[in-house]
Amino acid sequence: MSQYVCVPSSGARAGVAAVLALALGTSSPAAADVVPRDQPGDAVQTALNELVGGGRFPGALAAVRERDGRVRDYTAGVGDLATRARVPANGRVRIASNTKTFTAAVVLQLAGEGKVELDAPVEKYLPGLVRGNGNDGRLITVRQLLQHTSGMPEYGKAIPGTFFDSRHRYFEPRELLDLALKQKPLFAPGKGWSYSNTGYVLLGLLVQKVTGRPVGMAISDRILTPLGLGDTYWPVAGEQRIRGAHPRAYKSKTGRPGGEAVDVSEMDPSRGWAAGQLVSTPRDVNRFLSALLGGKLLKPAMLEQMKRTVSVPGVPQGWGYGLGLTKIPLSCGGLAWGHSGDAGGYLTRDGITEGGRSATVTATAESLTAAEAEQLDAALDTALCAGK
């Protein structure tokens, strides 16, 4: 989706929050090492240096978390083209479609509590909402929304103008859905695969209907607070600036390689909503993945459902998409689980290996070529494989 959220290459009870916080020991995050930029022989630092070396990406940042909780932070390039300030270690960024994994985790928690059926039609939870131009919520299941097999059309294609035309515009979730429903389905539910931000907007509405709370609050109460992810937050309505230390974000004004790099750090993220609104840091994303894949957030049966993948057209062999989670084959053997997100001038890739090593890498300008996207994917692969 070119307007905001990427295509891939990615209210709990107080007692639950308290128990999880104690179980994970999240009251005081482990100290992190910041790797010097000229650190010789560090493969991850070299990969980040190469990301910014060609001049396309002003800056890059990453964090690598070992299974035992040890963390290393990395930076490269500059965090602000105007002032030439350094990239802040573990700076906050818009994680875009990586939000989907958080949204999916909440839906699967509700499924584990018996409040949502994965193979029930969305009509059961949002009666009469999905109608128009052949779109029918009676035929689309919750699982199909989670795995992008619903055939729901993409609302981003119906937003008029360019990103810059609506950069500061606030969108209501129902407005995003209405934009999608102006279009015909891409295929019959379950008969294809197509990345759908619209599906995750519907899932956000479902979470709100089932919990009786805003989806951002549900994510905060069920995930952010229990895990102690203090640098991750859901922007409030109308909030355009990123809180705290962060690298500036850039996007080509012309929409073509070589175009003027415009600072888009301030923007309204509502067009992403449950599909892509969260702000986070590399360390926090890694801790989330460690908890999620470590079985701290979902019942075993629900985590198993999340990891059941379908094939994705046009991607290398071995890749697959589960329920808000991507299966990523690694060059060093084995696989990782993660996601990706490109939006608002940031590109973020994350993953966790079967051995428990997690990594998150962000570049600070939106990619315009497949080669640049592949370079970012390769940097994540390096970060995940460097420990072997």
Active site members: 97
Give the Cα-Cα-Cα angle 111, 112, 113 (nearest 5 degrees): 90
For the record, the structure tokens of 114 come out as: 């018996």
The DSSP line for 254-279 is: SSSTT--EEE--S--GGGTHHHH--E
89 backbone dihedrals φ, ψ, rounded to 5°: -60, 135
Contacts for 220-224 with beta carbons within 8 Å, 24 or more apart? 221/11, 221/12, 221/17, 222/11, 222/12, 222/16, 222/17, 222/105, 222/106, 222/109, 222/297, 223/102, 223/105, 223/106, 223/288, 223/297
* Residue showing tokens 């409040």: 115
User: What is the spatial distance between Cα 198 and Cα 219, in angstroms, rounded to a whole number?
Assistant: 18
Buried b vs exposed e over 65-97: b needs ≥16 C-beta within 10 Å?
Answer: bbeebebbbbbbbbbbbeeeebbbbbbbbbbbb
For the record, the structure tokens of 320 come out as: 């697959």
- Does residue 282 contact residue 360 with C-beta atoms inside 8 Å? yes
Residue 326's nearest CA partner among 334, 335, 86, 35 is 335
Question: How far from each other are the two terminal CA atoms of the chain, in whole angstroms?
Answer: 35
- Does residue 278 contact residue 206 with C-beta atoms inside 8 Å? no
Which residue type occupies 3?
A: Q
